[in-house]
Amino acid sequence: MELDPYQCIAKKNRKYASECTEVHLANQGAESISKKFEHFSSLEVIWFQGNRLSRVENLETNFRIREVYIQNNRLVSLAGLKSFKFLRVLLASGNQLRNLDKQLALLSRFPFLKKLELFDNPVAEEPDYRLRLIYHVPQVELLDQHTVKGAERLRADEVVPNLDKVSAAKVEKPRPKGHQFSVLERQCIHEARSIQERRRQAEELSMSKSFHVAAGKDAPPDCKMFKANRDRWMDPRKKILHETLRPTPWECHEMRSFIESKAKKELTKADVEALAKELGETGVEEVGRFLKSPAAVFEELAEQDEVEEGMTALARSLKFHTESKGKVKAMPHALDKLMQDASATMPVAEVITWLLKLDWPRFDDEHLERRIDKLFEDMRRAEFAGDKETVGKLQTHASRLEGAKTLKHHVELNRKEILRSAPKARVDIFPQTFIRGKRQIDEATGRIVLKVGMDTRSTSMGTMTVTTR
C-alpha cells in the first residue's frame, strides 16, 4: 500500500492538486509514497506519522515543503528530504535512524530548521548526541521537545571540538603499488610529453599572431566583369531596367517548366514557330511576360556579352574576330540544325534555353489588372466551394502578377513621363499679398471703423470708438 495524496482533496484533478498545501495521511499502514506527489507543487506540510515507511521518496519536486511529521515509521535514512530547502519543522521520532555523523551532515543543510525531534531512534543513544546536534545544527531552537538554552550552546562549543582530538585515528589502507615502468618506457613517456608541450606552445603562438593582407603595387587589377556587375546590380534602377526585358533567374526557372508543359520533347522547325507564336500571344502569365518578337526566333542575332559595356574596342574586336585571318568569326545559331533541315528535331530543353535569351517584356498594366481581377473572382468561387488548395494557388498567382505590375514603380520608372507632362514649378519664389488698412466712418453708428482691403475686397478687423472731451 502507498500513500496517495489525492485522498486529501475533494476534487481529484490537477488544478486542485496544484493548489493543495497540506496532506494528512497518518496511520494508514502504508509502506511507500506515491509518485502522484509531483502534481502537488504547492505542498508545504505533510503528515505521514504512524505508517510503515522505510525511506522518503518521490518528493524531489516538492521543494516548498516546510513541515514534515513522520514519527513512528521505519525510516533508516532522511536522504529523501534533501530538496526541502525551506524546512522548518522535522518530527522523526520513533524510527530506525542510525549513524549520527551522517544525519548531522544532512541536517546542517537546512538553514531554516527550528524544531527537530529524533528521540526514540538509535541515533539518540550515541554519546554526546544532544551537544553534537546543538553544535553542528545551531539554527535549531527546540530539540526533542526541549528548548535549547544558552548554557547548552556554550558547553557544546567547549566539548564538541575536543571530541575529534580524542577520537581514534582512521586506519589508512596502503596504496596499491602501480605498474613499474622500465627505463626505456619512462624515457618514451617523457619524450611524448615534451612533444605534446612543444605542439601546444606552437599552437598558442600561432593563435596569438594577427594576419592581414595589404594591397600593394603587385595587386591584380579590378576585374571588368566585376565592375560591370557592380554597376548594374548595385543601382536598383539599372537592375529593374535590365529586368524589364530579360527574365530574372527565378523567372527563367518558372518559365522553363511552364513552356515544357506546353511543348513536346522533340521539336521541329514548325513546332518551334508555333510555340513562339503562342508565347507571343498568350505569354507566360505566371510571371507576367510575353515573347516580344516571335518571328525573330530564327534570325541571326548578335548576342551581346554581359560585360560588353565595360569592354574596350580592342576587346570587342578580339571577341568577334579570329587571330589568324582577321575575319568575323562565324557564330553558329542556337537553332542552326532546324534552319538547315526543316524536318530535323531538337530537344525542347535546348530550344527553351535559346528562347529565354530573347526579349520578354512585361504585360501592360491593363492586361495585368484584367487577369488579376479574373483570378480573384475564381478565388472567391473556390473559397465558396471550400477548395482551399485551389484558393492558395490562385492567391499566389495573383500576388505574383501584382508584384510584376508594381515592380517598375518601386524605382520610379514613370517619373520622367510625369515630369514631361507637367511643367516644373519654381521653388525659390512664393506669392505675396499686401493688405492696406483704412479708417472709415460707419454710416449706421457714426463710429470710426478700421478696414483692410485687397484689391476690391475688404475685411472688417474691428471697430474703434472716438471720444471727445
Burial class (CB in 10 A: 0-12, 13-18, 19+), 162: exposed
Q: Which residues pair with 24 in a beta bridge?
A: 47
The reported pLDDT for the residue numbered 415 is 47
Buried/exposed code over 326-335 (b: 16+ C-beta within 10 A; e: otherwise): eeeeeeebbb
Question: Mind listing the pLDDT tens digit for each residue in 175-184?
Answer: 555 567 788 8
Tell me if 75 sits within 8 A of 54, measured CB to CB. Answer: yes
Q: Which three cell numbers stand for residue 147?
A: 528548548
Q: How confident is the model at residue 426 (pLDDT cuts 50, 70, 90)?
A: low
Asked whether residue 107 carries a pLDDT value surpassing 60, the answer given is yes
Q: Report the residue count for the chain.
A: 469
Quote the pLDDT of residue 66: 92
Indicate if the pLDDT at residue 14 is higher than 50.
yes
Tell me if the domain spanning 2-161 has CATH number 3.40.50.10140.
no
pLDDT recorded at residue 423: 53
User: 68-106 pLDDT, tens per residue?
Assistant: 999 999 899 888 888 898 999 999 999 999 888 888 889
The answer, yes or no, to whether residue 420 has pLDDT greater than 70, is no
> Distance between CA 441 and CA 445 in Å, rounded?
8
Residues 9 and 17: beta-carbon distance below 8 Å: yes
What is the arithmetic mean of pLDDT over 169-178?
A: 55
Q: What is the pLDDT of residues 48-69, one digit of tens each?
A: 989 999 888 888 888 899 999 9
Task: Using alpha carbons, list the distances in angstroms from residue 257 to 271, 306, 395, 436.
Answer: 17, 25, 20, 77
CA distance 270 to 236: 40
CA distances from 57 to 66, 80, 298, 299 (A): 16, 5, 88, 89
Supply φ then ψ for residue 211, to 5 degrees. -110, 145
Closest CA to 268 of 203, 331, 339: 339
Parse the chain into domains and list their residue ranges.
2-161, 230-361, 367-421, 435-469
Dist. CA 124–CA 237, nearest whole Å: 92
Residue 304 has pLDDT above 70, yes or no: no
Determine the pLDDT at residue 205: 82
Grouping H, G, I as helix, E, B as strand and the rest as coil, residue 133 is helix
Q: In the prediction, which pLDDT does 338 show?
A: 80
186: number of Cβ within 10 Å: 11
Q: What is the mean pLDDT of residues 437-460?
A: 66
Buried/exposed 420-443: b ≥16 CB within 10 Å, e otherwise: eeeeeeeeeeeeeeeeeeeeeeee
Quick one: which H or E segment has residue 449? strand 448-454
